[in-house]
Structure 1
Amino acid sequence: MRVGLVDDRTIDLDKLKAIVSTVADVEVVFATQSAEEAYDHIKKETIDVLIADIEMPNLSGYELADIIHSHALNIAVIFVTGTSGYAVHAFELNVHDYIMKPYTKERLTQSIERLVEKSKSAEMTGRLYLKQKNDIHIVQKKDIVLIERSGRSTTIYTKSGPIKTYMTLNELEGELRERDFLRSHRSFIINIHYVKNFSLYAKNSYTVTFDGLDEKAMITKEKVEFLQRNYF
């Protein structure tokens, strides 16, 4: 598991590094005193967990977690903070844990170990279960190329063919929190690994073509710029 650390106080950052470095199956990718630098690292390097203080100069840890949440990045967040005032908001951002300073080594270690076990389980069960009347389709997430909402139904295009479901894109987006998937448009979710080309369609949108698939998707100009900043 790849972890990023950010705390504006040197003594607190050193404590984080000392504890996290002892946890099995964990690699510290970066440790910084600036949330802006942490954000730059997140755009360039893949991490699984961000451990952050909340109240920091300029960009706060909460604002950084909000960016992660709003862009549906597959990064778990653990807050390690001296203030309890953000606890409710942290819950709204689906933060993994909220640890109050001063804390023990065991408290932080247990939180990280829970995430490690959770990630191992997720790797084994990287599948989507689609209930359709009397049938249940089991789809490997890695085989999903794109998902399109049209009318009251949704079509999931996979490498082996399309599957219809009545699940909404919002529901499917909640199931597909992996970094591979992007809500490119109000009617589409795409797997970025299959994207072949973007073609200008209108002033603020593009069509997307995919390897091995005739169907196309739509993507907004804003999401293309987001992909360029954070993925390519």
Structure 2
Amino acid sequence: MMKVGIVDDRFIDLDKLEGIVSQLADLELVFSTQSAEEAYEHIKKEEIDLLIADIEMPNLSGYELADIIHSHALNIAVIFVTGNSGYAVHAFELNVHDYIMKPYPKERLIKSIERLIAKTKTAEIKGRLYVKQKNDIHIVQKKDIIFIERTGRSTTIHTKAEQIKIYQTLNELEGELRERDFLRSHRSYIINVHYIKNFSLYAKNSYVVTFEGIEEKAMITKEKVDFLQHHYF
């Protein structure tokens, strides 16, 4: 089930979006609002997979909302439904899924959403990590990996539910985790940026990383903290 949020400052356009989303069985409408600021508050508190947004709105625009999603590396697809074609080039720099001009037939938006659902299912199949553990092969969902730690001659994958000890090196695993979600934070660690909770100064050039959902911690260099702040946050 794909979770959706919609925002448009014009009620008539918002009502049309609600009607289209409600027709699709694979969608769950999480929020519907005429305020981009309110949409942003929902995004901070609730998990969604797709944001359908107008661009030109009072105060915070839909483009600025998509820029926040992009700069924070949030795993949220964006479809712009707008009456202004002037943002098209800049919008695709933010890697939006689609840019639909008003007025539009409902079939245009439905086909766009269906393409996204198909694309997401394909991405989920590819989003697995195959790791060797003695005579076994583990299949780990990449989205469940919080961080990976190298200790001595073994490597531990920390997930939401378990710890998996393997013997592949971080260099080998890093080649399989080139998505924007993962960062080689230290010579002994690869971290998933979406689970980061806090950085605590450990030494002059390094920090301890704490994560959402687990007590185990990782290390990150000052250089990589600066990189995260510039490119992600």
Is 1:161 paired with 2:156?
no
In the alignment, is the contact (CA less than 8 A) between 1:82 and 1:102 conserved in 2?
yes
1:114-133 equivalence runs, <5 A: 114-128=115-129
User: Does the 8 A contact of 1:204 with 1:221 survive in 2?
Assistant: no
Greater shift after overlay, 156-165 or 118-127?
Answer: 156-165
Give the partner amino acid of 1:102: P
Cα deviations by residue, 1:6-39 (Å, 9 ceiling, x for unpaired)? 0111111111111111012101110111111100
Q: Residue in 2 aligned with 1:92?
A: 93
Which letter does structure 1 place at the counterpart of 2:63?
A: Y
Task: Give how far 1:190 is off.
Answer: 2.1
Return closer, same or farther for 1:156/1:66 CA change in 2, 3 Å cut-off: farther
Q: CA deviation at 1:55?
A: 0.9
Q: Which amino acid aligns with 1:45?
A: E
Q: Which residue of 1 aligns with 2:20?
A: 19
How far apart are 1:127 and its partner, in Å? 1.4
Structure 2: tracts of 5 or more residues without a match = 132-137, 158-163
Look up the match of 2:73.
72
1:19/1:105 contact within 8 Å kept: yes
Distance 2:74 2:23 in 1: 26
Aligned length: 208
Of the candidates 217, 220, 226, which is equivalent to residue 219 of structure 2? 217
Q: Say if 1:105 and 1:223 are closer, same or farther in 2 by CA, change over 3 A.
A: same
AA of the residue aligned to 2:165: S
In 1, Cα distance between equivalents of 2:194 and 2:68: 22
Amino acid at match of 1:53: D
TM-score (normalizing by structure 2): 0.71
**Cross-structure match for 2:53:** 52
- Distance in 2 separating the partners of 1:105 and 1:192: 36
The secondary structure found in structure 2 opposite 1:108 is helix
Report if the CA contact (8 A) 1:157-1:163 is conserved. Answer: no
C-alpha displacement of 1:141? 1.3
Deviation at 1:191, TM superposition (A): 3.4
Is 1:108 the counterpart of 2:126? The answer is no
> 2-side partners of 1:193 and 1:37: how far apart?
22
Alpha-carbon distance change, 223 to 91 in structure 1, aligned in 2, over 3 angstroms: closer
1:174 aligns with 179
User: What root-mean-square deviation, in Å, do the aligned CA atoms of Structure 1 and Structure 2 show?
Assistant: 4.0
Unaligned runs of 5+ in 1: 131-136, 149-154, 225-232
Letter in 1 for 2:9: D
CA distance in 2, matches of 1:204, 1:15: 53
Kindly state the Cα deviation for residue 44 of structure 1 after the two structures are TM-superposed.
Answer: 0.2
Moved more, 39-48 or 183-192: 183-192
Q: Alpha-carbon deviation of 1:85?
A: 0.8
Deviations 1:63-102 (A, max 9, x none): 1001100110000000000011111111111100000000
SS in 1 for 2:32: strand
**TM, length-normalised to structure 1:** 0.71
| Paired residue type of 1:75 | I
Amino acid at match of 1:87: A
